[in-house]
């Protein structure tokens, strides 16, 4: 808002309209901030849960590492993600994705000529890839929502700490100024009237 304002009734009326708009907008941004905070917290919790799941599976599969090192099977080529099925939705105007399912490329494995641990290893790798894919999706969601949350917070603070107080202050200044002008005009009018009356008495 400009420091210099026109001290007249038109400016006063315009400022009062602005103030009503600011006061109406404030709870909207407060509600948006609260909604986004709750969703962000939920996604952060989900990412933390997925990280724990990945760590647990890593711990469980350590016993296979030595065995795998002796084999020529490359699980990274056996287990590949084909695509991730997601559903798009909006949170406070922000488009994000929800996990539906994951599809892996079907790789042929000769079960007759592969060790027994391969089945379990493939299942573990699929679980890990699923968890990591979900983490990547949720991380993208989190970044989008955090950006929107920061913007909602900036707007709320600007309205609450800058626009509304400044507008109220400018309205008060104009009202005081116009009141002073009005009182001065009334005083001048009375003075002119008195002088006219005094002149008429002398005449």
Question: CATH number of the domain that 57 lies in?
Answer: 1.10.287.3240
Answer yes or no: is pLDDT of 173 > 80: yes
Please give the residue range of the domain that contains residue 81. 9-196
Question: Is 75 inside any structural domain?
Answer: yes
pLDDT digits (tens, 9 = 90+) for 81-120: 888 999 999 998 899 999 999 998 877 766 666 666 677 7
Handedness of CA 179, 181, 186, 191 (dihedral sign): positive
Question: Is 3 inside any structural domain?
Answer: no
Question: Is 85 inside any structural domain?
Answer: yes
Question: Is 43 inside any structural domain?
Answer: yes
Question: Is 101 inside any structural domain?
Answer: yes
Total domains in the chain come to 1
Question: Taking a C-beta distance cutoff of 8 angstroms, is the pair 43, 145 a contact?
Answer: yes
Question: Is 162 inside any structural domain?
Answer: yes
Count other Cβ atoms within 10 Å, centred on residue 101.
9
Encoding tokens for residue 52? 């724990």
pTM for this entry: 0.77
Question: Is 160 inside any structural domain?
Answer: yes
Helix (H, G, I), strand (E, B) or coil at 140: helix
Tell me whether residue 99 is exposed, middle or buried, using C-beta atoms within 10 angstroms of its C-beta: 0 to 12, 13 to 18, 19 or more: middle
What residues are paired with 88 via a beta bridge? 97
Question: Is 89 inside any structural domain?
Answer: yes
Mean pLDDT confidence for 40-64: 89
């Amino acid at each position: 808002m400009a420091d210099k304002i026109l001290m007249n009734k038109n400016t006063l009326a315009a400022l009062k309209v602005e103030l009503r708009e600011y006061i109406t907008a404030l709870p909207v941004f407060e509600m948006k901030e609260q909604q986004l905070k709750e969703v962000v917290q939920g996604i952060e919790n989900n990412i933390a849960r997925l990280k724990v799941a990945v760590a647990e599976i890593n711990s469980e599969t350590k016993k296979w590492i030595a065995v795998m090192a002796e084999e020529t099977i490359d699980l990274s080529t056996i287990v590949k993600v084909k695509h991730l099925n997601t559903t798009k939705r909006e949170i406070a105007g922000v488009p994000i994705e929800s996990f539906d399912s994951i599809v892996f490329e079907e790789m042929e494995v000769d079960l007759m000529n592969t060790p027994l641990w391969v089945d379990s290893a493939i299942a573990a790798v699929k679980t890990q890839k699923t968890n990591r894919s979900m983490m990547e999706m949720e991380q993208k969601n989190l970044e989008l929502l955090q950006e929107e949350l920061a913007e909602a917070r900036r707007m709320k603070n600007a309205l609450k700490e800058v626009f509304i107080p400044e507008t109220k202050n400018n309205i008060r200044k104009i009202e005081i100024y116009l009141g002073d002008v009005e009182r001065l005009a009334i005083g001048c009018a009375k003075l002119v009237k008195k002088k006219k009356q005094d002149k008429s008495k002398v005449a």
